[in-house]
Amino acid sequence: MSALLLDTGPLIAFLAADTPHTEWVHEQWDRAEPPMLTCEPVLTEAAFILKREGVDPGVIFTLLERKVIRVALQLEKERADLHALMRRYRDRPMSLADACLVRLAELHPGAKVFTLDSDFRIYRRHGNKAISLLMPEN
Walking along the chain (138 residues) 10 residues at a time, the average pLDDT comes out as 91 88 94 97 97 95 98 97 96 93 96 96 95 90
3-class secondary-structure state, position 77: helix
Q: Tell me the domain boundaries of the chain.
A: 4-134
Predicted local confidence at residue 133, as pLDDT: 97
Average pLDDT in the chain = 95
Predicted local confidence at residue 2, as pLDDT: 79
Predicted local confidence at residue 20, as pLDDT: 83
Predicted local confidence at residue 137, as pLDDT: 84
Q: CA-CA distance, 21 to 96, in Å (whole number)?
A: 23
Q: CA-CA distance, 37 to 77, in Å (whole number)?
A: 17
Q: CA-CA distance, 86 to 94, in Å (whole number)?
A: 6
What's the topology of domain 4-134?
Rossmann fold (3.40.50)
**pLDDT digit string, tens, across residues 11-51:** 999 998 777 899 999 999 999 999 999 999 999 999 999 99
Element (DSSP H or E) covering residue 37: strand 36-38
